[in-house]
Amino acid sequence: MGASSYSPARTVIAFAAAPLVAPMIGIAYLAYNAPVGAPFDHQALAVFVAVAGISAIAAYFGAIVFGFPVYVALRMQGLTDFLWAPLMGYVIGAGVISLLLMTLRWDPDAAFKIGGPLGAAVGAALWLIDRPDRRGVMGRESRKATRTAIAFVLAPLVVPLIWIAYSLGCDYWPAASRAEFLIKGAPPLFVIIAFNAYASTFIIGAPVYLFLRARGLTAFWIAPAIGFAVGILVTAPIFGMQLAATVVGPLGAAVGAVLWLIDRPDRRAQ
């Protein structure tokens, strides 16, 4: 059978499902090593939830921020053999977990024993779901669609990164408190803000952006203007217009600007 025409839908499903392997393995490992007869109380449940949550966050972060661009680069070069997926997964998993462990002042060697194998498992699952070896050649239109997908994956990260950088730069932070915030406060803050940024971008921003692009409205100023409007729309009804117009709106404009700079919709119309 010949290779089928390329469609990004299966790749999206693969990147949505494959990172779930990491928390599943973590929970299975805890269950296998649990003492025989040990009660499953609230404390044990909290440990299971913490392991599942941390491994899921690390897996999705590594897969989306690092794995997706690497996957696309290899896919464009025709490097679609199975070996590449777990190999790159191991490297990315070890790197992401190394950063996390160093931040928490744990043993960095555990990154190669935990993060690497989990990353390799995620990479293998991704390959088995997507099966890039059976896909057709990624043509010009597919590359454009992939570039748009990369833009929507990376652009919302601007919001938590700016927010955390601003929080660390405030003058009222003593040095010790700033370090404590970076270790304990920044990770959950990053997750919460990133979740809201991605939700706003995909639910509201993406349909509007694609609608305008289809009609040739691709000037640069439109993207930050739409981002500003989306930020106000999702914030003003809950937190008031002042916060929406002075904080969230400009952050939305930054997302729109970064998205436009990555996707460059003005060049598609040429």
Same domain, 113 and 170: no
Q: What is the pLDDT, as a whole number, of residue 55?
A: 79
Can you tell me the distance from the alpha carbon of 90 to that of 200, in angstroms, rounded to the nearest whole number?
A: 32
Same domain, 28 and 98: yes
Same domain, 130 and 206: no
The answer to whether residue 50 is domain-embedded is: yes
The torsion region of residue 37 among left (phi > 0), alpha (psi -120 to 50) and beta comes to left
Q: How far is CA 88 from CA 82, 94, 176, in A?
A: 11, 10, 37
Same domain, 197 and 147: yes
Name the range with the highest mean pLDDT among 97-101, 112-116, 177-181, 203-207.
203-207
Q: What is the pLDDT, as a whole number, of residue 2?
A: 47
Q: What is the pLDDT, as a whole number, of residue 151?
A: 85
Neighbours of 183 (CB within 10 A): 12
Can you tell me the distance from the alpha carbon of 248 to that of 242, in angstroms, rounded to the nearest whole number?
A: 10
pLDDT of 116 > 70? The answer is yes
| Token pair of 170 as six digits | 């405030």
Contact 256, 224 (CB under 8 A): yes
Q: What is the pLDDT, as a whole number, of residue 226?
A: 93
Strand partners, 135: 4
Same domain, 182 and 117: no
Q: What is the pLDDT, as a whole number, of residue 183?
A: 60
Neighbours of 32 (CB within 10 A): 7
Q: What is the mean pLDDT of residues 50-61?
A: 79
At 39, give phi and psi (nearest 5°).
-70, 145
Q: What is the mean pLDDT of residues 1-9?
A: 55
Same domain, 254 and 173: yes
Same domain, 13 and 121: yes
Q: What is the pLDDT, as a whole number, of residue 220?
A: 93
Q: What is the mean pLDDT of residues 101-128?
A: 74
Percent of the chain scored above 90 by pLDDT? 17
E strands, 102-213, where? none
The domain of 198 spans 142-268
pLDDT digits (tens, 9 = 90+) for 156-200: 889 988 887 777 666 555 555 666 666 666 666 777 788 788 888
The pLDDT-based confidence of 13 (bands split at 50, 70, 90) is confident
pLDDT of 120 > 80? The answer is yes
Q: How far is CA 194 from CA 46, 57, 93, 201, 220, in A?
A: 24, 11, 20, 10, 24
Same domain, 104 and 223: no
The answer to whether residue 3 is domain-embedded is: no
pLDDT digits (tens, 9 = 90+) for 138-151: 666 666 777 787 78
The pLDDT-based confidence of 1 (bands split at 50, 70, 90) is very low
The answer to whether residue 177 is domain-embedded is: yes
Domain end (from 138, 173, 203): 138
| Token pair of 193 as six digits | 């803000």
Domain end (from 110, 138, 166): 138
